[in-house]
Amino acid sequence: MLNWFKKKPATPPAPQPAPAPPPQPEITPPVDQPAADPVGPAGDAQAAPAPLETAVDGTMAEEIVVAAPTPVPPPVPLPSPLAVALLPELEDKPEKKSWFSRLKDGLSKSTSRLTDGITGIFTKKKLDDEALEELEELLIRADLGPVTAARLTAGLAKTRFGKEVSAEEVKDYLATELQKIVEPVARPLVIDPSKKPHIILLVGVNGTGKTTTIGKLARQFRDEGKIVWLAAGDTFRAAAVAQLKVWGERTGCPVVARDTGADAAGLAYDAVEQATKAGADVLLIDTAGRLQNKAGLMEELRKIVRVIKKLNPEAPHTTLLTLDATTGQNAHSQIEVFKDMVAINGLILTKLDGSARGGVLVALAEKFKLPVHAIGVGEGVYDMRPFEARAFSRALVGME
Ligand SMILES: Nc1nc2c(ncn2[C@@H]2O[C@H](COP(=O)(O)OP(=O)(O)OP(=O)(O)O)[C@@H](O)[C@H]2O)c(=O)[nH]1
């Protein structure tokens, strides 16, 4: 059950004797040195711990800070074309291991749950009602969902009932059927070169991996030779801003950021404006994920979208929802909730490596039919790949 928090009433800003100069968004150019003050505001925020309660993702909620309205700042100087050209060379190339073996390693917890069960049920056994029932239960426990579990079991019964069936045959059957389910949603994230920039908004509950996913995507696009800008739209958490700046440095991408508590929509506006002027190919915008304050978050996300559209009516071109695979069935309610807030048109499933619940991807594909662009199988910058139906289905049931 989701556990929403009530938004704290906003404290009206005290009347100012004279208007303060408007805050300037900060652009962190991609340089080979630490940001000037990566944790300064975070230190402040952490100095006064807020009351805590358990949030939807199992983390602890922080106090909700309502920012005073921020005037739109004047344009800030852009990095010169030379500075863009001198973006640092990309470091740490991926290890030589094949993608399939990385996927298999990542999915090993989900895989062993299924394969151990299948081997247990189908060791020298005829396919009878009892075996079918056990298989159906196993598929439900693996988060495939009851409807899919029933359909797959019935499908197997149709051709093999009363016959001896080996565990390998069952795995083979499942891999084929799972592939049919996930194939339609397996679509790579395609950047439209005519957009300049292709604007991608990342949404999702705190801790699901938005910021890390931005880092991984930024690296991927930079490896493809694209100019990528990042926007630290999670202005609620100082640590999130600092984290994005680090990703900006590591991937060679300018980061548009403001101080903690700043208006996220204003920041997004600046980012679109600056990235457009700079001729960026891609702009990745991070957002807050405070589901504890659902109404506040909805208002914030909708405002971000409205403001972006003022500059670019077609944008955001892609709105990605990140889902943490370890939360299993909770992913369903997260999609429902975020679909009500913004027009989600793609999913990225993270933390499949730490989860025995990778099967949830199948249930999500069946129910929501939203494109699954990529999956995260680790914390490293290369631990994310396009979602491939065949590789995923075979890895999930432990096949080569
Ligand atoms: N094992 C594993 N860890 C991941 C993956 N993706 C992200 N993480 C970790 O999950 C944690 C949360 O990731 P973040 O990127 O900070 O998540 P977020 O949604 O931006 O969270 P907030 O910054 O709190 O809004 C970090 O410790 C990441 O390293 C993944 O695919 N696998």
Q: pLDDT tens for residues 315-367?
A: 999 999 999 998 888 999 999 999 999 999 999 999 988 777 889 999 999 99
Binding site membership of 168 for ligand 1 (Cβ less than 6 Å) = no
Is 106 a residue whose pLDDT tops 60? yes
Is 164 a residue whose pLDDT tops 60? yes
Look at the alpha carbons of 165, 355, 383, 112 in this order and tell me if their dihedral is positive or negative. negative
Q: Which residues contact 52 (CB under 8 A, 6 or more apart)?
A: 60, 61, 62
Binding site membership of 358 for ligand 1 (Cβ less than 6 Å) = no
Binding site membership of 376 for ligand 1 (Cβ less than 6 Å) = yes
Phi and psi, residue 121, nearest 5° = -80, -40
Binding site membership of 206 for ligand 1 (Cβ less than 6 Å) = yes
The ipTM estimated for the assembled molecules is: 0.94
* Nearest CA-CA partner of 357 in 323, 383, 390: 323
Residue nearest to atom 17 of ligand 1 (CA): 209
Amino acid symbol at 213: T
| Residue 93 pLDDT | 54
Triad 168, 111, 98: Cα angle to 5°: 95
Q: pLDDT tens for residues 2-41?
A: 333 333 333 343 433 444 444 455 676 654 333 333 323 3
Q: What CA–CA distance (Å, rounded) separates 131 from 63?
A: 51
| Residue 400 pLDDT | 73
Mean pLDDT for the chain overall: 79
Q: Encoding tokens for residue 180?
A: 């049919």
| Cα of 53 from ligand 1 centre, angstroms | 20
* Nearest CA-CA partner of 87 in 178, 206, 256, 222: 222
CA distances, 30 to each of 36, 53, 145, 246, 256 (Å): 12, 37, 45, 9, 11
| Cα of 397 from ligand 1 centre, angstroms | 26
State the pTM of this model.
0.77
Question: Which atom in ligand 1 lies closest to the alpha carbon of residue 350?
Answer: 31
Residue 197 binned pLDDT confidence (cut-offs 50, 70, 90): very high
Burial call 134-158: b when 16+ CB within 10 Å, e when fewer: bbbebbbebbbbeebbebbbeebbe
Q: What CA–CA distance (Å, rounded) separates 197 from 191?
A: 9
Binding site membership of 208 for ligand 1 (Cβ less than 6 Å) = yes
| Cα of 161 from ligand 1 centre, angstroms | 45
Q: Answer whether 318's CB lies under 8 Å from 234's CB.
A: no
Triad 343, 347, 352: Cα angle to 5°: 155
Identify which of 64, 324, 350, 373 to mutate to test ligand 1's pocket (most ligand atoms within 8 A of the CB): 350
Q: Encoding tokens for residue 91?
A: 């470091």
Phi and psi, residue 19, nearest 5° = -65, 130
